[in-house]
Amino acid sequence: MIILKSQEEIEKIALSCHIVAKTLDYLRGKVNPGITTREIEQLAEDFIKANNAVPAFKGYRGYPASICASVNNEVIHGIPSSRVLEEGDILGIDLGVYKDGFYGDAAYTFPVGRVDSEVERLLRVTEESLNIGIEKAREDKRVSDISHSIQKHVESNGFSVVRAFVGHGIGRDLHEDPQIPNFGSPGRGPRLRSGMTLAIEPMVNEGGHEVVVLDDGWTAITLDGKLSAHFEHTILVTTDKPRILTKIT
C-alpha cells in the first residue's frame, strides 16, 4: 500500500531530508586521499547528532554502521572500515536520517582526488540518470516510467543498471511501497499521485549488471570487479515539477 503524505508529514520528511543533504555536503570536503571510511562515518554521525537527528541505518535490520561507504567495485551497503581512500578511488556514501518520526535518504558518489575521465563519465551518467528518473516522477505517470527512463539513459551510454536492488517509498518507514526498479518497460506499475514521497536510487555498473553480496551479509560488489556508482534523492511527487527534498539549497 502506498501512503500519501499530508502537508504536515511532508514538512517533517523535508526536514529529515534537509539534514541528509547538509551532511552529504559537509562530507564532500572530507572525502580525500588518506582518510578511512570509518573516520568519514564518525564525522557523519557527529554531524547528524549535532543536528538533533538520528542516523537511520545503524541497527536497521542489523546493519552495523551509520552510513554505507562503498568503494570502487562495491555497489552499495559497504560497511565503514579501516580502509584508507586513495587518489583515483570513488566512494559512494549512502545516508539516512530519522527525526520526529520520519526518514530521509540520499546517496552521492564522490571522486577521491583526481579520477580518470572514464570514471568521471560513469559518475556523470549515473547522476544524470537519477535526474532524468526524477523528471518522470509526476502525477499520473507510472512507477516504471521512472525505471525505464533511467535504464535508457544508462544503457545508451554503454553502462548497465543493477537489477538486484531498487528504490522505494519513504516516510514513517525507511522502506515503504512502491518498489522502484531502475529498469523495465514504461507504463507499468502503480500510478503516481501527488503526496507520494519516493527514494529513487540508480546503481550503475561500468561492466555487467550482476552483483554478489559478500559474507558480511551486506556489501554488494560487482561480479566482474568493475566500478559501480550510486546516486539517490528523496523526492515529493506533485501535480507539477517533483520537489527534490534532499537537494542541497
Residues of this chain that bind ligand MF3 (CB under 6 A): 57, 60-61, 63, 68, 77, 94, 105, 107, 168, 199, 232
45 or 232: whose CB is closer to ligand MF3? Answer: 232
* Nearby residues of 95 by Cβ (< 8 Å), 6 or more positions away: 20, 23, 24, 44, 55, 57, 67, 68, 105, 106, 107
221 binds, among Co ion, ligand MF3, none (CB under 5 to 8 A by kind): none
CB of 167 to ligand MF3, least distance (A): 7
| Contact between 10 and 195 (Cβ < 8 Å) | yes
Cα 30 off chain centre by? 19
156 or 167: whose CB is closer to ligand MF3? Answer: 167
CB of 181 to Co ion, least distance (A): 13
Least Cα distance to 86 among 119, 113, 117 occurs for 113
What is the greatest pairwise CA distance in the chain?
Answer: 48
Which amino acid does the sequence have at 50?
A
Half-sphere exposure of 123 (CA within 13 A, CB side): 20
141 or 168: whose CB is closer to ligand MF3? Answer: 168
Task: Report the residue closest to ligand MF3, judged by CB.
Answer: 63
Work out whether 176 is an interface residue with Co ion (CB under 5 A).
no
CB of 13 to Co ion, least distance (A): 13
120 or 173: whose CB is closer to ligand MF3? Answer: 173
SS3 48: helix
What is the rounded distance in angstroms from the CA atom of residue 47 to the CA atom of residue 42?
9
Work out whether 105 is an interface residue with Co ion (CB under 5 A).
yes
CB of 118 to ligand MF3, least distance (A): 26
26 binds, among Co ion, ligand MF3, none (CB under 5 to 8 A by kind): none
105 or 127: whose CB is closer to Co ion? Answer: 105
| Contact between 238 and 139 (Cβ < 8 Å) | yes
CA angle 127, 149, 192 (to 5 degrees): 105
SS3 69: strand
88 or 248: whose CB is closer to ligand MF3? Answer: 248
Name the one range near Co ion by CB under 5 A: 45-53, 62-70, 83-91, 197-205. 197-205
The site for Co ion (CB under 5 A) is made up of 105, 199
